Amino acid sequence: MKLNKLTPVEESVIIKKGTEPAYTGKYENFFQNGIYVCRQCGASLYKSASKFHSGCGWPSFDDEIAGSVARQADKDGIRTEILCSVCGGHLGHVFEGEGFTPKNSRHCVNSVSLDFIPEQKK
């Protein structure tokens, strides 16, 4: 598997499981049509239709592309960490039962963990 070269900031989040500061990510208030992919390996993760504004300071999605996101207990023992199912890169955390959308799920994702591929105009 070919992995993209990461900046030190990207590495601190994707590899070392850090978090970018709230309200600083380039995709927090970004709402174009397309696909969000893993910054490290390029695997498709989220469709733009699943993105919503939660006000939490990070991009939020209520659904992933089937099979693209793995979940595991976070080291804090409270939250559920989400990872790219292809390369294992840290994406953020998922929260259930908050009522933001009918799917009742919020994937809180670091912008630096993502790249965006715009929908092709026909």
CA proximity to 93, closest of 55, 52, 61:
61
Read off the tokens for 36. 């969000």
Q: What span, in angstroms and rounded, lies between the C-alpha atoms of 96 and 103?
A: 9
Tokens of 104: 């009742």
Residues with Cβ within 8 Å of residue 68, at least 6 apart in sequence? 43, 44, 45, 46, 84, 85, 86
Catalytic residue among 41, 56, 87, 108: 108
Active site residue 84: no
Given CA atoms 30, 31, 37, 38 in this order, what sign does their dihedral have? Answer: positive
First CA to last CA distance, the chain:
31
Tell me which residues are annotated as active site: 108
